[in-house]
Amino acid sequence: MNIVLLGAPGSGKGTQATRISSRYDVKHISTGDIFRENIKNGTPLGVTAKGYIDQGHLCPDELTVAMVKERISRDDCAKGVLFDGFPRTIFQAQELDKFAKIDCVINLNVPSEKLIRRIVGRRSCLACGGTFHTDFIGETKTCPTCGQELYQRKDDNEETVKERIAVYEEQTKPLVNYYEEKGVLVNIDGDNDIEKIFTDIVKGIER
């Protein structure tokens, strides 16, 4: 089974992705995480991606598609993939259709005025991949799950977030119609508590 998680920046894709991939036998592939890993390791891909990401722009389509195509050809993706943050453009979706059959697209809906607040307060843990919000954990620098150091993503500042949301509206939102027309779209109210959203997603996948 292959699933796509669709939603604006800050809509909770990463949080739900962890839950979905442990419930179903699907490998969680986050293009944002792969880019950040490459940036951390100073690879040529990372050097290219960093310029786009820091400005809140999308990385080039061809580069992103090639990266995903390579990643899902590995053994750990054989049983199915949960795509998180991919596709983000119609071009990417059309390319994806050529190498994977998408069974279900989960579209997380969150009112746009809430997205900025969610992202600016977001703290991430590189060690366990967890994300947390300062509303719940305060200003601690220690990951509540694994005890390692928390950090704030460089692109999680107000100015870059506004740009990312604008890019989402323009380039990624058309995917909602794209998948609706294919009959695989499931709309989920993402303005709820985490467990309720997950229950709704499970219902959507199993409908």
Residues 70-109 that bind ligand ADP (CB under 6 A): 85-88, 92
Exactly one of 2, 16, 21, 31 binds ligand ADP (CB under 6 A); that residue is 31
Measured from the CB atom, the residue of 147 and 174 that comes closer to ligand ADP is 174
32 binds ligand ADP (CB under 6 A): yes
Nearest approach in angstroms of CB 39 to ligand ADP is 10
For Zn ion, the binding residues in 129-148 under the rule CB under 5 A are 130, 143, 145-146, 148
Helix ranges, the chain (H) = 13-23, 31-40, 44-55, 61-72, 90-99, 112-120, 134-137, 158-167, 174-181, 194-206
Active site residues: 13, 88, 122, 153, 164
52 binds ligand ADP (CB under 6 A): yes
Q: What are 187's two structure tokens?
A: 């709309």
Q: Which is nearer to ligand ADP, 24 or 52 (CB)?
A: 52
150 binds Zn ion (CB under 5 A): no
Which residues, other chains included, contact 10 with Cβ-Cβ below 8 Å and sequence gap of 6+?
110, 114, 115, 116, 118, 119, 122, 161
Considering only residues 112 to 171 of the shown chain, the ones binding ligand ADP according to CB under 6 A are 164
Across the beta sheet with 185-189, the strand order is: 27-30, 81-84, 3-7, 104-109, 185-189
